[in-house]
């Protein structure tokens, strides 16, 4: 007997076609970029030279008529089409990789070193590097075959007739393209290219390019970003060149030379020895062609990644209407039917929406409440062991130094401090000294060190110097990227969870819950929503107040040189929560007594919904310029140090 077929999820009828259309749009743009690069790699100069006699004959009669060779240089069905297909395959492999590895949300790992260690232990990283390497391997022969003979980029060269020799120049270019793949793999995880940002800012109507107005908005967004992407590709190609020179001449040259000889010997009469050539192949012309090839292959990758990241987060619209407007399950996807659907299988539709949204919002509250609390460890089960009988007497707790009576004064204080140091080596014995011993210690310190030296060796001064040194070191891009613990990611992890923090989930949840509540006054025929309005107001108020309180007391890490407490993801959620709470309170305040909302709860809700005040402008220096965060922190430390010195002087007096 055949089993019951699995029920198809209703959202797949609308979501999957939309995703297919977005992938098709990405592939079309990538195909256009591949065709453009195929035209750039065409041998236009050789065509002009070969058709020069023909052009000289027809110059007077048909000066604007193209020759057949010029036609085949750009016609898609021909050499240009073959190059386009191979280059498109280089980008298509990366698109398939993006589909397999995409994620939604900001990575909340605290430092780049943690991200690096996690990536090195993840098989997904090596899969990404493998496909970037395959892509560069496919692009290499296309670029080499497109170069003219004068570029000296053929794998085999002939000297003295038929003596075949392996050419090291294309070998270096192939290693350079492999280095581009390695560098792109590192950038793929360093920049978190797999992330789909659902909260991408939408351009305003006045910001649209009038020349691109005939294209859809998503295509306009991609085309506007391509110039900056191309400039970044040039920069990355130059960086890969310096890395390739180091890797090739230090590690890869002998290995790559022997491997290439072993691969080509069955096809050519090459020398049996594998001695490296005495001269280096990297001249100025080869380096320039390497940058050219690296820019093209990086642009294929970057254009595909940019288009995928923009097209896949398009607004869920079809012909200007929501994707769910044509859904078979209208009651589960359209707002006006939610209030009336009370006979659903798992309960009324509003009750299901309310429960899901409240669970999402309360998850923020629970994370904030749990922050800073020690993890509750499971109590170990008591082992049924038989207590051992004591063999020796317990350790003595009396003083180490033996005296007939009680010793006082300096000698007694020193002995007490020595006794404490022997019993607890980690404790500081100076605080346990007697007043006479403290005075003697201070006098010895004054005789050995001057006031300036004592101030320089004070804990506050040393701490301030260490913080300044740390801030200067963390400003170095390579060091800071590995060891910096940004406030943004740490605070987002505490509020939104790990390993990814996606604000769009909470933004959409708050907007849906608040808008459904507001519109229920006119559309809820059965009055089911008003019973939950009080709980919605209390929950939004509690979440806003707790997140704001946590942000105030959330500490900055010592590796963060800026000291700025900003987290755009959390701030975006707070803004939406304040706006929604303000709308709900404004609509339902006249019915507060029926909803059982006290005046105190309404006052707290209004305070939570109020927009925060803008930060005061920074202090200015003598030249009238605003001071940096480091300068403000330095002045604050100096003021604290002066206040501490004043207190110490008063105590001495």
pLDDT at residue 430 in the model: 46
- The model's pTM is 0.73
pLDDT at residue 54 in the model: 41
**Cα–Cα distance list, 120 to 125, 132, 189, 529 (Å):** 7, 16, 11, 51
Residue 201 has pLDDT above 90, yes or no: no
Phi, psi of 328 (to 5 degrees): -70, -30
Nearest CA to 515 out of 570, 591, 576 is that of 576
| Domain limits, the chain | 20-47+72-202+227-316, 347-371+468-613+626-638
According to DSSP H, which parts of 151-283 are helical?
A: 168-190, 217-247, 253-264
**Angle (nearest 5°) at CA 327 between 324 and 332:** 75
Lowest mean pLDDT among 131-135, 368-372, 392-396, 482-486: 392-396
pLDDT at residue 56 in the model: 43
Nearest CA to 157 out of 147, 165, 149 is that of 165
The arithmetic mean of pLDDT across residues 99-104, rounded, is 89
The arithmetic mean of pLDDT across residues 252-273, rounded, is 88
Bridge partners of 383, per DSSP, are: none
How does residue 29 score in pLDDT terms, banded at 50, 70 and 90?
very high
Distance (Å, whole) CA 29 – CA 307: 7
Distance (Å, whole) CA 49 – CA 169: 25
pLDDT in tens, 499-548: 888 888 999 999 999 999 999 988 888 888 889 999 999 999 999 999 99
pLDDT at residue 634 in the model: 61
pLDDT at residue 280 in the model: 85
Distance (Å, whole) CA 302 – CA 365: 39
**Cα–Cα distance list, 40 to 33, 146, 304, 650 (Å):** 11, 10, 18, 79
Distance (Å, whole) CA 595 – CA 583: 16
pLDDT at residue 122 in the model: 84
Question: Which three-class secondary structure state does DSSP give residue 334?
Answer: coil
Q: Which residues contact 419 (CB under 8 A, 6 or more apart)?
A: 399, 400, 401
Q: How many CB atoms lie within 10 A of CB 571?
A: 16
pLDDT in tens, 278-295: 888 888 999 999 999 999
Distance (Å, whole) CA 553 – CA 608: 18
Report the chain's mean pLDDT, rounded to a whole number: 77
The arithmetic mean of pLDDT across residues 460-470, rounded, is 66
């Amino acid at each position: 007997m055949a089993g019951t077929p699995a029920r198809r999820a209703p959202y797949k009828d609308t979501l999957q076609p939309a995703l297919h259309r977005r992938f098709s749009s990405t592939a079309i743009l990538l195909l256009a970029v591949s065709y453009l690069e195929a035209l750039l790699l065409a041998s236009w100069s050789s065509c002009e030279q070969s058709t020069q006699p023909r052009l000289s004959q027809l110059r007077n009669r048909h000066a604007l008529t193209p020759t057949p060779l010029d036609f085949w240089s750009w016609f898609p069905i021909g050499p240009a089409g073959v190059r386009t297909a191979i280059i498109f395959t280089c980008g298509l492999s990366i698109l398939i990789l993006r589909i397999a590895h995409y994620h939604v949300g900001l990575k909340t790992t605290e430092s780049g070193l943690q991200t690096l260690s996690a990536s090195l232990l993840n098989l997904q990283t090596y899969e990404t590097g493998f496909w970037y390497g395959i892509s560069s391997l496919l692009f290499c022969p296309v670029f080499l075959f497109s170069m003219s003979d004068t570029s000296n980029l053929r794998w085999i060269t002939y000297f003295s007739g038929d003596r075949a020799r392996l050419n090291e120049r294309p070998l270096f270019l192939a290693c350079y393209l492999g280095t581009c793949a390695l560098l792109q793999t590192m950038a793929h995880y360093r920049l978190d290219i797999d992330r789909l940002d659902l909260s991408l800012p939408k351009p305003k109507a006045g910001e649209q390019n009038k020349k691109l107005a005939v294209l859809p908005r998503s295509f306009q967004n991609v085309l506007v970003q391509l110039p900056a992407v191309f400039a970044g590709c040039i920069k990355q190609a130059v960086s890969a060149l310096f890395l390739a020179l180091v890797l090739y001449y230090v590690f890869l040259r002998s290995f790559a030379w022997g491997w290439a000889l072993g691969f080509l010997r069955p096809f050519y009469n090459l020398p049996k020895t594998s001695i490296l050539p005495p001269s280096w192949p990297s001249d100025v012309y080869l380096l320039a062609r390497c940058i050219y090839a690296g820019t093209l292959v990086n642009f294929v990758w970057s254009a595909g990644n940019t288009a995928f990241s923009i097209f896949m987060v398009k607004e869920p619209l079809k012909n200007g209407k929501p994707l769910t407007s044509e859904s078979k399950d209208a009651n589960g996807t359209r707002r006006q039917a939610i209030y009336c659907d009370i006979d659903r299988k798992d309960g009324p539709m509003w009750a299901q929406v309310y429960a899901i949204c409240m669970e999402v919002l309360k998850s923020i509250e629970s994370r904030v409440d749990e922050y800073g609390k020690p993890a509750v460890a499971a109590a170990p089960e008591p082992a049924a062991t038989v207590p051992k009988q004591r063999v020796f007497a317990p350790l003595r707790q009396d003083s180490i130094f033996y005296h007939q009576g009680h010793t006082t004064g300096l000698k007694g204080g020193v002995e007490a401090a020595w006794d404490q140091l022997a019993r607890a080596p980690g404790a500081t014995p100076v605080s346990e000294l007697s007043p006479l011993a403290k005075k003697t210690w201070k006098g010895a310190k004054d005789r050995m060190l001057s006031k300036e030296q004592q101030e320089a060796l004070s804990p506050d001064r040393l701490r301030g110097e260490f913080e300044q040194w740390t801030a200067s070191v963390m400003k170095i891009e390579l060091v800071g990227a590995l060891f910096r613990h940004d406030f943004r990611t740490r605070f987002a992890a505490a509020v939104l969870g790990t390993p990814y923090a996606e604000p769009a989930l909470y933004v959409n949840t708050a907007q849906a819950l608040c808008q459904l509540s507001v519109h229920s006054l006119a559309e809820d025929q059965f009055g089911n929503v008003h019973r939950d309005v009080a709980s919605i107001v209390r929950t939004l108020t509690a979440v806003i107040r707790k997140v704001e309180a946590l942000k105030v007391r959330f500490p900055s890490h010592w590796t963060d040189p800026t000291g700025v407490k900003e987290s755009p993801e959390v701030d975006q959620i707070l803004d939406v929560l304040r706006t929604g709470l303000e709308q709900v309170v404004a609509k339902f305040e006249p019915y507060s007594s029926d909803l059982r909302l006290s005046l105190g709860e309404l006052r707290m809700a209004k305070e939570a919904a109020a927009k925060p005040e803008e930060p005061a402008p920074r202090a200015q220096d003598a030249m009238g310029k605003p001071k940096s965060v480091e300068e403000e922190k330095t002045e604050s430390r100096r003021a604290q140090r002066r206040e501490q010195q004043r207190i110490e002087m008063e105590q001495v007096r």
